[in-house]
Amino acid sequence: MAVPKRKMSRSRTRHRKAQWLKTSAPTTTICPRCKSHVRPHTACATCGTYKGVQVLDVE
């Protein structure tokens, strides 16, 4: 197995780790029935519908 010859510098390590902060917010759509924010291709947790069909029992 390969072993690094030199220790990786702090600046190189931190430069790579700095890219983790540039993540984007998750995409959301609006439920046509209850107008709440929902992840795409997912049943609505508020009203329990998916593509206009009731798929979950929500109380």
Domain boundaries, given as residue ranges, for the chain: 25-59
What's residue 46's pLDDT?
A: 93
pLDDT category at 45 given cuts 50, 70, 90 is: very high
Q: pTM of the full predicted structure?
A: 0.57
Q: Indicate the average pLDDT of the chain.
A: 90
Does residue 50 surpass a pLDDT of 80?
Answer: yes
Does residue 28 surpass a pLDDT of 90?
Answer: yes
Does residue 44 surpass a pLDDT of 90?
Answer: yes
- Calculate the dihedral angle through the C-alpha atoms of 39, 43, 49, 53, rounding to the nearest 10 degrees: 120
Q: Provide φ and ψ at 37, rounded to 5°.
A: -80, 135
- Furthest CA-CA distance within the chain: 61
Pick 12 or 59 by higher pLDDT: 12
Q: What is the rounded distance in angstroms from the CA atom of residue 6 to the CA atom of residue 12?
A: 12
35 closest CA partner among 49, 15, 19, 18? 49
